[in-house]
Amino acid sequence: MSYGIIKRMIGEIDVESEVGKGTTLTISLPISLEAKEEVTSFPSPEVQKRRGARILVIDDEESVRSVLSRILTRVKYQVNVAESGEEGIRLFREKEYDMVLTDLGMPGMSGWDVCREVKKIRPRIPVGLITGWGNEVGEEKMKEVDLDFLISKPFDFNQILSTVAKTMESKGT
């Protein structure tokens, strides 16, 4: 997963290993000299129409949960977070949500399992998968679990907002 993220960021990874002494990983990433805001433009009309929509974010990485929550609440979505698939499904059963965003690779219950379970409980609720394994996910698997969309990590903030809004619009949620 790390290799895929580094390559998508046009970076390099170098590995040096010596038996009995250890391994050194050197990761080189290009830097940008331009400062960027998290969300670079005012919310589009489709995002504005969906303000107040309830979104459940499920990811085992606290940093990803935090970033997604900040992005979505900044444009007035109501966001709940869960650190595991099991916790996410418990929350999903307890409250009404308009969308679920989940990571693919989590301990215990995977994103595929989360998607299947959400679709069993409420089939019309859109589920999006946010993953560092985007290149390895096939269309066939997405159709099998009725996944609505996939976004590869690292993601662009405006891409998240646009995809969420357009998916909700198309599903009528």
- Distance CA(172)–CA(125), nearest Å, equals 9
Would you mind telling me the total number of residues written for the chain in this entry?
173
CATH of the domain at 154: 3.40.50.2300
Whether residues 125 and 161 share a domain: the answer is yes
**What interhelical angle do 62-74 and 157-171 show, nearest 10?**
70
Whether residues 74 and 147 share a domain: the answer is yes
Residue 8 lies in a domain: yes
Distance of CA 148 to the CA centre of its chain: 12
Kindly state the tokens that stand for 38.
Answer: 């998290």
The model's pTM: 0.70
Whether residues 14 and 91 share a domain: the answer is no
Residue 11 lies in a domain: yes
Its domain, for residue 20, covers 1-29
What backbone phi and psi angles, to 5 degrees, belong to 9? -90, 10
pLDDT in tens, the chain (173 residues): 677 677 666 677 788 888 998 898 888 776 654 434 444 444 444 444 555 789 999 999 888 888 889 889 888 899 999 999 999 999 999 999 999 999 988 889 998 999 999 999 999 999 999 887 655 666 777 788 888 888 887 777 888 888 888 888 876 65
CA distances from 126 to 7, 66, 99, 123 (A): 29, 21, 5, 8
Kindly state the tokens that stand for 39.
Answer: 């969300």
Residue 37 lies in a domain: no
User: Into how many domains does the chain fold?
Assistant: 2
